[in-house]
Amino acid sequence: MCGYLVPSWEEIFNGTLSISQKIRKKKEDFQVIVAIARGGWIPARIISDLLGITRLISIQVESYKGEERHSINMLDDVTILDDKKNQLLLVDDVSDTGSTLLYLKKKLEEKGQKHVRTVTLYVKPWTKYIPDYYYQITSDWVLFPWELTEFLLPVAKKNFDQASEMVKKNGLFPYILQYLQEILKNDS
C-alpha cells in the first residue's frame, strides 16, 4: 500500500457521474440497484439518481474492520429479489480483493438473477475481480468521507497524535479530531 487516497465529495460525484455516463453509453437497462452495505450505499444512491432508477435495495456484508481483512460475513439474505427478469446493478465503493463482489454476484445468480453487472468507484490493481464499471484504479488505501470515524477512532485510541497527523497529512476535515476527542473522553 502506497498511502491514502482521500476523495472529496466532488470527486465522488464526478466518479459516479463518469460511471453513469458509461452505463448510458452501453444502453444497459437496469431496473434495480443493489447497494453493498455499508460502503456502496452512497455511490449507489447517487448512481440511482443519475440513471433515474428508483428501485434501490441493500445487502449488508462485512469483510473489513479498519484495515484488517476478515472472512466475508453475510448479514442480509439475498431472497429480497423475487423478480428474476430484473437487470441488477451491484454497487460497492471499492474492489480491493474483489471477494465481496464475486461472493454477492454468485449468490444473486444462484438465486436466479440472470443479468447482474457490478460497479465500484475504485479498483485495486491486485483485485481478483474487475467490476463491469469503475472510475479509477489505485493502490492506495481509499478513505471515504463516510467512514472517517470508523477508520480513525481505533488509531486515535492507540495514539491520538498519529490520528492527528493522518488528518493533517491527508487533508481530512480537521473538526473530526475534536469529535474523536469527545468520543475518547466519554469512553473513559
Residues 118, 62: one domain? yes
Q: Which three cell numbers stand for residue 38?
A: 455499508
Residues 28, 72: one domain? yes
Residues 30, 72: one domain? yes
Report the mean per-residue pLDDT for the chain: 88
Alpha helices in 90-174 (DSSP H): 99-110, 148-158, 160-169
**Counted domains in the chain:** 2
Residues 137, 158: one domain? no
Instruction: Give this prediction's pTM.
Output: 0.85
Q: What percent of the chain has pLDDT over 70?
A: 87
Residues 133, 160: one domain? no
For 31-77, what is each residue's pLDDT tens digit? 999 999 889 999 999 999 999 999 999 888 766 555 555 566 554 56
The confidence score (pLDDT) of residue 111 equals 81
Q: What percent of the chain has pLDDT over 90?
A: 61
Residues 92, 160: one domain? no
Q: What average pLDDT does range 101-113 have in this prediction?
A: 88
Residues 121, 161: one domain? no
Nearest to 128 by CA among 77, 69, 73, 84: 69
Instruction: Please give the backbone phi and psi of residue 94, each rounded to the nearest 5 degrees, phi first.
Output: -150, 145
Residues 114, 150: one domain? no
Q: What average pLDDT does range 102-116 have in this prediction?
A: 88
Q: What average pLDDT does range 13-20 have in this prediction?
A: 98
Residues 105, 63: one domain? yes
Which of 3-7, 32-36, 59-63, 120-124 reaches the highest mean pLDDT?
120-124
Domain, as residue range, for 124:
4-142
Rg (CA), the chain: 18
Residues 22, 110: one domain? yes
Residues 36, 115: one domain? yes
Separation of alpha carbons 23 and 30, rounded Å: 9
Determine the residue type at 150: E
The residues pairing with 5 across neighbouring beta strands, listed in sequence order, are: 142
Residues 159, 137: one domain? no
Contact between 72 and 95 (Cβ < 8 Å) = no
